[in-house]
Amino acid sequence: MVSFKPIKPLLQTGTKASSRWLSYIGLGAGVLLLLVSVQMFINLDHLLNKVNTRKDGFDFISISKKINDENQTIKSIFTKNEIDELQSKPFVDGVAPLIANEFRVHISAQGIFGTDLFLETLENEFIDTVPGSFQWTQGQLIVPLIISSDFLEAYNVFAPGNNLPQMSAETVTRLPITIECSGQGKQISFQGRIVAFSDRINSVLVPKSFLDWANQNLGEVAEHGATRLFIKTRDANNPDFLSYLDQKHYLVNKDKTRLGRTKQTLQAVFSGLGVFGLLVVVMALMLFSFYLQLLIARSRDSLQLLLLLGYSPKWLSQNVSRQFIPVYIFIVLAALVLTQLLQWAFHHTVMYDRPELSSAINWVVVVIATGLIILSIITNYRLVRKLLYKLY
């Protein structure tokens, strides 16, 4: 086995130690920046995806058209083309229009209160709570209703001030409600029964079969269409989705997408940092390659003589470049350990040990660190081999 030990003193480093340390520090800083950026990118992803944990894995958001001074005379109804276009987008898993009543509706409850109200209907698939009783067939007197749980909350807030009794959800479902529908010169009364509350839909919902029938028989509007659409999507924070909605000037339920916008900004910041880190890594590797070239140029006579004596250029390249492997591994490992410490500190102090995050760095970061070591070893070896073959 040929030993590299007697060869080592023949390699004249000669360069100033300071310039070598500068390239080590540069490489370390670049790698650290890169790894931390990747880790923070992943942290953000975990943090913001877990916040919106949904029972069935989908987000449901309603959109409407922006009403402003310019278009207030135009009806803000979604056309069939617009609905089809939305449906065709990869980030949309389903679209359903919210159909409203096209006749007058008056609701009263045993003299407790009475008001003109709107009714809407939506595909059952889009409603979070659909009990079996949420059905209507023609001729049925009782109309099941699903109302927003916010309405009950609002009622209970203003009820005491208006000498009205506060009501629990159970009480409300037992409350007989009278629905008077009028239009086309006719007036029909139905009995309403609240069968469920929805956390998702801010409306008073009736079965589709009822509203279809009523709109046909009592409706007074020639133009049909939906002013609100419900969208089913896997990720309401998807940047493509958000920019599409912006571009179309659709108004969104902001609550659901606000996090997404923060995530967009932060991820852009960390992407930028990551790219910067990568740039620093590349510069440091270049500095290292200059250092290697200088080393080989300075040791030119010795290396040439070794080749003359019968040393294999392949063996020499491998062994010369191998001298730097421990340095590379040390630098990348140090950066990895520092990233781990930062992640632990971030999780522990800034994030108060939130369960969505881990104190340990993500495996992707470890893979990237390993990749960097392999990359630097390979580029080093190839460079040394190229330079040595030139000496032949």
Partner 1 sequence: MYLQLQNLLPLYFEESKKQTSEIWGKDLQFAKGEMIKIVAPSGSGKTSLTHFIYGTRADYSGAISYNNSNIKQFSFENFANWRKDHISIVFQDLRLFPEQTVFENIDIKRQLNPFHRSEKIKEMAERLGIGKKLSSKAKTCSYGEQQRVAIIRALVQPFDFLILDEPFSHLDTVNRQIAMELMMEEANARAATIILADLQRVDFFAYTKILYL
User: Would you tell me which residues interact with partner 1 (CB under 8 A)?
Assistant: 2-3, 6-7, 9-10, 302, 305-315, 389, 392
Q: Which is nearer to partner 1, 6 or 165 (CB)?
A: 6
State residue 23 phi and psi, 5-degree precision: -70, -35
Minimum CB–partner distance for residue 388 and partner 1 (Å): 9
Whole-angstrom distance, CA of residue 382 vs CA of residue 391: 15
The residue among 252 and 306 lying less far from partner 1, judged by its C-beta, is: 306
Closest CA to 266 of 235, 245, 237: 237
- Measuring CA to CA, which residue among 260, 233, 234 is closest to residue 246? 260
* Closest CB 20 distance from partner 1, rounded Å: 21
Q: Tell me the closest approach of the beta carbon of residue 332 to partner 1, in angstroms.
A: 32
- Least gap, CB of 296 to partner 1 (angstroms): 16
Residue 141 or 309: the one with the smaller Cβ distance to partner 1 is 309
Closer to partner 1 by Cβ: residue 158 or 392: 392
Cβ 189 vs Cβ 178: under 8 Å:
yes
Nearer to partner 1, 15 or 135 (CB): 15
Closest separation in Å from C-beta 390 to partner 1: 11
Q: How far apart are CA 325 and CA 333, in angstroms?
A: 12
Q: Considering beta carbons, is residue 12 or 358 the nearer one to partner 1?
A: 12
Amino acid occupying residue 124: N
**Smallest distance, partner 1 to C-beta of residue 389, A:** 6
Least distance (Å) from partner 1 to the CB of residue 11? 12
Closest to partner 1 by CB, 3 vs 88, is 3
Q: Phi and psi at residue 232, in whole multiples of 5°?
A: -105, 125
